């Protein structure tokens, strides 16, 4: 499952939030954001719109079981991530996609 592979490569990314204040799992928001941006989202509202349009698909993957975060929540979480940590995780994930597709991955 794509989400499992995604999670595997982003597991080392530190969640900057206090655990008592977490409403949405980090990996759910990351997966939503990356999928939305890959499909052309250019801002936080676009990411929220993508999530609303594909909520059934996301929930079929076990994400956002109760609800989807609003764009302000997505922006706050993503903007608090360590950019260098995120980049390392993202590069590992993309490299794994290239390996899985034997170089047939289209950027």
CA atoms of 58 and 12, how far apart (whole Å): 22
| pLDDT of 93 strictly over 60 | yes
Q: Which pLDDT score, from 0 to 100, does residue 106 have?
A: 59
Higher-pLDDT residue of 21 and 56 is 56
pLDDT at 102: 64
pLDDT in tens, 48-91: 999 999 999 999 999 999 899 999 999 999 999 999 999 999 99
Domain assignments of the chain as residue spans, ordered by start: 2-10+26-100
Residue 14 in contact with residue 85, Cβ under 8 Å? yes
On whether the pTM is more than 0.85, the answer is no
Q: Which residue has the tokens 């996609």?
A: 97
């Amino acid at each position: 499952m794509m989400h499992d592979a995604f999670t595997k490569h982003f597991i080392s990314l530190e969640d900057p939030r206090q655990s008592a204040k977490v409403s949405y799992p980090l990996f759910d928001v990351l997966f939503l954001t990356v999928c939305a941006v890959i499909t052309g989202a250019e801002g936080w509202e676009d990411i929220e719109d993508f999530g609303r349009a594909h909520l059934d698909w996301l929930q079929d993957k076990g994400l956002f079981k109760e609800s989807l975060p609003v764009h302000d929540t997505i922006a706050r979480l993503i903007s608090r991530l360590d950019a260098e940590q995120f980049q390392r995780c993202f590069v590992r994930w993309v490299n794994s996609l290239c390996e899985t597709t034997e170089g047939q991955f289209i950027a």
